[in-house]
Structure 1
Amino acid sequence: MTKKQTAIILFIMAAILSMTYFLNKADNKNTSAPANESQLKKENASADTSPKNDFPPKVTLVEAIESYQQEHPDTDISSIELEQSFNKWFYTIEGLDDEKEYELRVDAHSQKTSKKQVKKLDRDEKNGIKRNESKIDTSKLVALTEIGKVATENAAGEITELSLEKELSHTYWTVKVEEGLNETEVKIDAFSKDVLEIEQDD
């Protein structure tokens, strides 16, 4: 066999090996496609099962107040907020004594506390001045289930946020109810459940 014939044979073998390599690579792409499609379906399914609005949350208002009082005994509560963050409900409770103001966050699913803040009151707020003006009698508060029921009877949609505050002699909840792009705020007396005001923001 001449050198020329040997070179031709080697060239043909190299060409065959190259074709075999590219054919195998194409087959691997085709067989991996169903797996990728299956993975996408799983991801879409998991996205569809995201947590829904589960008002009222597992931890009750009474339990959240107890958590605050354990952290800050001998203080009075001045405001409570219940709002969602990443599809989870959290209470934010503020209170005060004669010298300082306190804030505590309570997980409404696990009752774990976090974001503990303390700050001094201004001079004109000390010695019980702000405390007497702002303190809320939590023993008379109506359950959140009742407040939520009143809110959704007066506004269509889901409850997304609640805030409790005292203004002069009135202690009331402001409840945000959302449906699509429509948001309605319903102000409800925290003791009697009377509707004080309904404000709609289209």
Structure 2
Amino acid sequence: MMKKTLLAGITFVLLGVMVGCGNKTVQQPASESKNKTTNVSTTDSQVSEKTKVEKVKTIDVSDAIKIYQEKHPKTDITSVELESERSGLVYKIEGVDDETEYDLTINASSKEILRDKSEKLDKEDRAGVKRKQDKLDLKDIISIDEATIIAEKETGFGTAQEWSLDKDLSTTYWEVKGVEGRKEAQIKIDAKSGKVLEFELDD
């Protein structure tokens, strides 16, 4: 089974709002307090989104997929990864046809193709067996940034360390892993609808 991990240095946001004045508690009307909380959340979300774009200057996963499909048009994609190498962030995309497996590495900033490898599938995986089993449904999938926002909202903490675009039966999903101290969160998100499928927190 091929590695299906996407690495990205994207930070989950933990938002806390504290209001204090000496030893006195300042009370506000419910409607005013609610509006202020909403405004702060919106502002922080915008800052977080801007930071991600500036910090990780990479092409979108859809652009990387397009580059692969132009290079190997008669294949199906089975794995998409975003990870760090010495040269910087790269996309690693794997795919298959009925007889051969392909591995394309793309510079995530310049779109340059760094490596393009292929090898024959094992006998038991040929004749479309692996192709049918591992093919990802990539139509209308949510972006990495969209999956990140969903994960932030669900977990409320952590640093994104691993990404995996995988499938379970007919469902293609993002799996995002993040850490906070000794805790690790794993969340699975439907890659089409954005619905949270599973959330695990390990102490």
Please classify the TM superposition score into its range, dividing by the shorter chain length.
0.5 to 0.7
Distance verdict in 2 for CA 1:110–1:180, change over 3 Å: farther
Aligned-pair Cα RMSD in Å: 2.2
Give the conservation status (yes or no) of the 8 Å contact 1:102–1:117. yes
Q: TM-score, normalised by structure 2?
A: 0.66
After alignment, is 126-135 or 52-61 more displaced? 52-61
Q: Size of the alignment, in residue pairs?
A: 151
Q: TM-score, normalised by structure 1?
A: 0.67
Match of 2:76 in 1: 76
Match of 2:21 in 1: none
**Distance in 1 separating the partners of 2:87 and 2:159:** 13
Name the larger-Rg structure.
1
What is the Cα deviation at residue 76 of structure 1?
A: 0.6
Q: Deviations over 1:25-53 (max 9, x none)?
A: xxxxxxxxxxxxxxxxxxxxxxxxxxx75
Q: Which blocks of at least 5 consecutive residues in structure 2 are unaligned?
A: 1-8, 11-50
Match of 2:134 in 1: 134
Q: Given residue 144 of structure 1, which amino acid in structure 2 is its aligned partner?
A: I
Match of 1:11 in 2: none
Match of 2:117 in 1: 117
Normalized per residue, the structure richer in helix is 1
Distance verdict in 2 for CA 1:158–1:173, change over 3 Å: same
Q: Given residue 179 of structure 1, which amino acid in structure 2 is its aligned partner?
A: E
What is the Cα deviation at residue 62 of structure 1?
A: 1.0
**Distance in 2 separating the partners of 1:183 and 1:73:** 38
Percentage of matched positions with identical amino acids: 40
Match of 1:158 in 2: 159
**Distance in 1 separating the partners of 2:159 and 2:138:** 25
**Distance in 2 separating the partners of 1:165 and 1:72:** 20
Match of 2:101 in 1: 101
Q: Deviations over 1:107-143 (max 9, x none)?
A: 2222222232212112221111211221122122112
Match of 1:65 in 2: 65
**Local SS of the residue matching 2:197:** strand
